[in-house]
């Protein structure tokens, strides 16, 4: 599954991932391989990117935005996003 995180200032993330967790407007949800087409609004919170099954994760704090899932390609559009150093 391909993930792209875009902000107006730059491309924050781009690459193959196992899954991604996002703070949807009506609750947190996760997108995995072969997810159905989806358009959703995101609220402020933390995006968790699972690079593979072995718990390689990275985090991004966002102010809100949108996500589109189509044909195994996830595009996250966010404003005011910053990468968070993982605590582990």
Partner 1 sequence: MAGQLKEVRNRIKSVQSTQQITKAMKMVSAAKLRRAQDAITQMRPYSKKLQEMLSNIVSNSDGDMAMPLATDRPVEKVLMIVVTSDRGLAGAFNANIIKLAKLTINQRYPEQYRKGQVAIWGIGKKGYEHFLKNNYRTDATFKDIFLNLTFEHVQRASEAAVKGFLNREYDVVEIVYSQFRNAATQQFTVERFLPIPKVEKKKGDIKADFIFDPSQEELVTELMPKILNTQLYKAVLDSNASEHGARMTAMDKASENANVLLKNLKISYNRARQAAITTELTEIVSGAAALQG
Please give the residue ranges that form the binding site for partner 1 (CB under 8 A): 4, 6-11, 24-26, 36-41, 65-66, 68, 70, 75, 77, 79-80
Nearer to partner 1 (CB atom), residue 29 or residue 59 = 29
Q: Which is nearer to partner 1, 58 or 75 (CB)?
A: 75
C-alpha distance across the termini of the chain, in Å: 24
Task: Report the nearest approach of partner 1 to the CB of residue 27 (Å).
Answer: 9
Question: Cα(10)–Cα(72) distance, rounded to whole angstroms?
Answer: 22
Distance CA 81, CA 42 (A): 12
DSSP-assigned beta bridge partners for residue 41 = 66
- If the CB atoms of residues 25 and 56 are measured against partner 1, the closer one turns out to be 25
């Amino acid at each position: 599954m391909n993930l792209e995180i875009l902000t107006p200032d730059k491309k924050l993330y781009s690459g193959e991932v196992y899954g991604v967790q996002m703070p949807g407007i009506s609750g947190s949800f996760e997108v995995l391989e072969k997810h159905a087409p989806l358009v959703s609004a995101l609220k402020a919170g933390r995006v968790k990117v699972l690079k593979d099954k072995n718990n390689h994760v990275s985090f991004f704090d966002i102010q809100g935005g949108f996500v589109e899932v189509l044909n195994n390609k996830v595009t996250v559009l966010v404003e005011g996003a910053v990468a968070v150093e993982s605590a582990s």
